[in-house]
Structure 1
Amino acid sequence: MSGAITCSATDLSALLGPNATAAAAYICGQLGTVNNKFTDASYAIDTTYLLFSAYLVFAMQLGFAMLCAGSVRAKNTMNIMLTNVLDAAAGGLFYYLFGYAFAFGESSGGFIGRHNFGLKNFPTLTLDYSFFLYQWATHFVAYLIYSSFLTGFVYPVVAHWFWSVNGWASPFRSADRLFGTGAIDFAGSGVVHMVGGLAGLWSALIEGPRIGRFEEGGRRAIALRGHSASLVVLGTFLLWFGWYGFNPGSFTKILVSYESGSSYGQWSGIGRTAVTTTLSGCTAALTTLFGKRLLSGHWNVTDVCNGLLGGFAAITAGCSVVQPWAAIVCGFVASLVLIGCNKLAEILKYDDPLEAAQLHGGCGAWGLIFVGLFANEKYINEVYGAGPGRRYGLLMGGGGKLLGAQVVQILVIVGWVSATMGTLFFILKKLKLLRISEKDEMRGMDIARHGGFAYIYHDNNDDESSQFPRVSPGSPLPRSPNHPAV
């Protein structure tokens, strides 16, 4: 949008005849009113865009719930669904009370924010409630057991470092940027995905593998497949849909002109970001399909879905500052990273049914490296401003300083999350709050903790005769007061 309309009654009166002063004042007053309307419309359009993006991102919570439900065995479905609902509720409350202030409040030495607790003295001249809602909606990777701590403290500190204008490693700083450039993580390959993936890593490491995941003696891994590929696919498509709010929405504004009087502006960058997001995810999905086929001999839809999401997690850091062809490279490598991390997990006897550490942590780390290699100079200047010392991708001729900043981001995230979440999970284990008993694990969380199953099912690992009567082919279905035959 072009600059504000200006009008001077003094200058205008010289061009008018009788009653020039009054006429000039009237004309300028009308122009001022029109200018205010344009300004109001600009704020309304940007706010509506950000709110719509927040709604798309929140839909990812539903997608993640479906993905989780399909990835676990049927006897744990109700538990994982309840966890997702309470995660959203607890995360919203704690982000309101503490998280937003830690992330975007006035900085304390570039480490953590210290204002706007409970949204006090909010909104401000530059930020309003739509920004708060969007930032909260991006925290879909947490679980209930640690969502309050992760959403209320661990994540906001990292967000302050890399997204706040005063963060010590933020590319938005006006001066003293890390390596002269700051670390670029546009929508959160590191801030969101690595933080969540590393939290999941420490949780699974300290808790230990599920019963039956590895043969006795640990010689061979046994696949404990989730019970519903349909739910996994449904969740994946919902996450894909929501990612169009997650990545393009991180611009927070749409009505910004890059070249005055032209059709090229932030709306163009938003469209390009949607394209790079799509290309990376699609490439990763296809690469995973054929890669896993070569390794396992099967066409597995669950692996393809995880590959798609790995491509999205990787491109999230650089979606706004790379060209579309580079996004294809990002997705291809992300798939290889995911496959390699999963193979390493089997060798190390690491068990996580959602592949959180491999997908979000591994692919998120690759996404940060990818920015340091392929970030485009023109796009960086448009998104972050053309300040002195601004660097771009190593393979694009920008030198190695941006890549160095990206490596620093990876290292500090690993250190911070390991120190905080690793300690939390260690304490929970010592208090015997991290894992249920062996008996309850074999029975399933639904019957052990929630009073019943999400739906009637047959689990190959259970003694079916102890739960359901056997029915011969052609026999009438058994009746019961609670479950009449249909």
Structure 2
Amino acid sequence: MQLGFAMLCAGSVRAKNAMNIMLTNVVDAVVGSISYFLFGFAFAFGDGSNANPFIGTEFFALKDVPNSSYDYSYFLYQWAFAIAVAGITSGSIAERTQFSAYLVFSFFLTGFVYPVVAHWVWSSSGWLSPSSSSLLFSSGAIDFAGSGVVHLVGGIAGLWGSLIEGPRVGRFDAFGKPVPMRGHNATLVVLGTFLLWFGWFGFNPGSFDKILVAYPNTTNQGNWTGVGRTAVTTALAGSTAGIVTLFGRRLLVGHWDALDVCNGLLGGFVAITSGCSVVEPWAAIVCGFFSAWVLIGLNILALKLKFDDPLEAAQLHGGCGAWGLIFTGLFAKEEFVIQAFNSGETGVVRPYGLFLGGGWGLLGAQVVEVLVIVGWVSVTMGPLFYALHKLRILRISIDEEIAGLDVSSHGGYAYTAHHDDTPRFYADYMRLQNQS
């Protein structure tokens, strides 16, 4: 997954910032490792006599993990989710952010902000957990592999970072009209997309590990059936979103665009990640269809509001993540909910998708998850980015931005045969200044 993010981000920025964005992806992983080990894992899954019921913090004492108080493999799997959140946020503030700011927000986001949300939803003692002994609305929120816990958290954090920094130099002209700033390498974008697609088969089907229950009969039903179904729903939602985005953007801009398909595909994956284990394959197609239009619509709105997110991360991960949570509340199938969260136990009654006759309980819990994530990330990451801004350690100078972060901060361009486009960007900037 991290390799996929790195390639996607590198191809989506201009060549003069390729080295910088690749370095930030590495930093997200290495800083996230330390931060999540020291603090994040305990906040997310701490569950002992001294644990805080709201945010965990009993270090490594995990009732969630069977037969072991120190399950290192479980830590490693959860760490992969944690560092993905920082990678999402990095995309929103690409091409204009000081490197020191990456170190600060990545550490804080991975070590505290994300783990608290993970505790709410994925810990057995979390107040939103569908495996809790005290279920919210008799249901709990189903966010199987993180449409909200991972993607909405990263998207909202990126939203605040991008809003506080403001758009890149030259992104909008003197009349407020958007100026195209296309990524420099479509090959890397496509490569990164396929790597992420492959990685999603680890995140979604692999998340049955988070349930940590033994199904009584795995011969022809149970968790192994769920693993296969989850992989199918993931592929169908992403594929549907990709093809709908392709044709939708063709109608809007008049040409076929591989980069639009890639973002549409990822938007479908983000959306299905919440309900991948509890919906039918046909419902996954519905999920992907609407996630494409959520992404297209939010991108149009972003341009109207002069919001600049180089990787569309806030729209893609935030918007499609929120839609994925709502979708689960509408289309979750009762049989699959019981299979996933009650080990297929007979006689169990649980709320399920509203459109399938399951009542309002599950949908209500899903809406609550959306609202509390938006609120929590806003009151933590918003002030952090604002403080970095006031301390003048968030955004680079105009001169550095025009020259490119690679040459201004990292000693040279990523490509030895780089065609220097700095004069063109500087001329565009001076023209805009004169017009204003």
The verdict on a shared fold, with TM-score over 0.5 as the criterion, is: yes
Partner of 1:37: none
Which amino acid is the alignment partner of residue 425 of structure 1? F
Deviations 1:106-153 (A, max 9, x none): 165631112116x89998725611111000011313143411100100
Greater RCO, CA 8 A, separation 6+: 2
1:114 maps to amino acid: T
Q: Which amino acid aligns with 2:77?
A: Y
* Separation in 2, partners of 1:311, 1:228: 23
CA contact (8 A) 1:99 1:152 kept: yes
Identity %: 65
Q: Distance in 2 between matches of 1:452 and 1:389?
A: 62
Q: Is the Cα contact below 8 Å between 1:181 and 1:390 reproduced in 2?
A: yes
2:113 aligns with 154
Task: Please give the alpha-carbon distance, in whole angstroms, between the structure 1 residues aligned to 2:377 and 2:211.
Answer: 33
Q: Which has the larger radius of gyration?
A: 1
1:298 Cα offset (Å): 1.2
1:129 corresponds to:
72
Change in CA separation of 1:269 and 1:465 when aligned onto 2, cut-off 3 Å: closer
Stretch moving more, 130-139 or 380-389: 380-389
Partner of 1:420: 380
Q: CA deviation at 1:262?
A: 3.7
Distance 1:388 1:448, change over 3 A: same
Q: 1:459 to 1:352 in 2, by over 3 A?
A: farther
Which residue of the partner structure matches residue 341 of structure 2?
A: 384
Q: CA deviation at 1:369?
A: 0.2
Does the 8 A contact of 2:47 with 2:63 survive in 1?
no
2:44 matched to 1:114? no
> Partners in 2 of 1:459 and 1:368 — Cα distance?
44
Which of 164, 169, 192 is the equivalent residue of 1:235? 192
Matched, 1:217 2:159: no
CA contact (8 A) 2:402 2:425 kept: no
2:419 paired with 1:458: yes
> Which amino acid in 2 is paired with 1:356?
A
- Structure 1 residues 166 and 123: alpha-carbon distance in aligned structure 2, compared to 1, 3 A threshold: closer
3-state SS of paired residue (1:222): coil
Partner of 2:164: 206
Note the residue ranges of structure 2 that are not aligned, 5 or more in a row: 91-101, 428-436
Distance in 2 (CA, whole Å) between partners of 1:357 and 1:69 is 17
Distance of aligned partners of 1:410 and 1:256 in 2 relative to their CA distance in 1, 3 Å threshold: closer
In structure 2, what residue type is equivalent to 1:82? L
Deviation at 1:401, TM superposition (A): 1.2
State the Cα deviation string for residues 149-204 of structure 1 (Å, max 9, x = none): 00100000000001100011111112x21111111100000000000011110000
**CA displacement at 1:388 relative to structure 2:** 6.0
Q: Is 1:168 matched with 2:112?
A: no
CA shift, 1:217, in A, is: 3.3
In structure 1, what residue type is equivalent to 2:116? Answer: V
Q: What's the counterpart of residue 482 of structure 1?
A: none
Question: Aligned match of 1:336 in 263, 288, 293?
Answer: 293
> Following the alignment from structure 1 to structure 2, what is the Cα–Cα distance between the partners of residues 462 and 267?
58
Rounded to whole Å, the distance in 2 between the matches of 1:465 and 1:371 is 48
1:80-479 equivalences under 5 Å are 80-106=21-47, 108=51, 110-116=53-59, 125-126=67-68, 128-139=71-82, 140-142=84-86, 143=90, 144-145=102-103, 146-174=105-133, 176-218=134-176, 220-252=177-209, 258=215, 260=217, 262-385=219-342, 390-455=350-415, 456-458=417-419, 460=421, 462-463=423-424
1:295-316 per-position Cα deviation (integer Å, ceiling 9, x unaligned): 0001111111000000000000
Q: Is the 8 A contact 2:14 2:182 kept in 1?
A: yes
Equivalent residues of 1:255, 1:267 under 8 A apart: no
Between the two proteins, the alignment pairs up a number of residues equal to: 404
Report the counterpart of residue 431 of structure 2 in structure 1.
none
Tell me how large the CA RMSD over aligned residues is: 2.3
Q: In the alignment, is the contact (CA less than 8 A) between 1:269 and 1:320 conserved in 2? A: yes
* Pair 1:67-2:13 in alignment: no
Give the equivalent residue in structure 2 for 1:14.
none
| Alignment check: 8 A CA contact 1:281 1:308 kept | yes
**Moved >6 Å (runs of 4+):** 119-124, 253-257
- Compute the displacement of 1:356 (Å): 0.8
Measure, in 1, the Cα distance between the counterparts of 2:75 and 2:293. Answer: 35
Following superposition, the deviation at residue 457 of structure 1 comes to 2.1
Distance 1:320 1:123 in 2: 21
CA distance in 2, matches of 1:161, 1:168: 5
TM-aligned CA distance change 1:373 to 1:124, over 3 Å: closer
Paired with 2:351 and 2:63, the residues of 1 have a C-alpha distance of 36
Paired residues of 2:267 and 2:316 also in contact (CA < 8 A): yes
Gaps of at least 5 residues in structure 1 are 1-59, 467-486
Rate the CA distance shift 1:208–1:376 in 2: closer, same or farther, 3 A. Answer: same
Verify the 8 A CA contact 1:321 1:375 in the aligned structure 2.
yes
Question: Structure 1-normalised TM-score?
Answer: 0.79
Per the alignment, in what secondary structure is the counterpart of residue 336 of structure 2?
helix
Kept after mapping to 2: 8 A contact 1:256/1:267: no
Secondary structure at 2:85 match in 1 = coil
Letter in 2 for 1:458: H
TM-score scaled by structure 2? 0.88
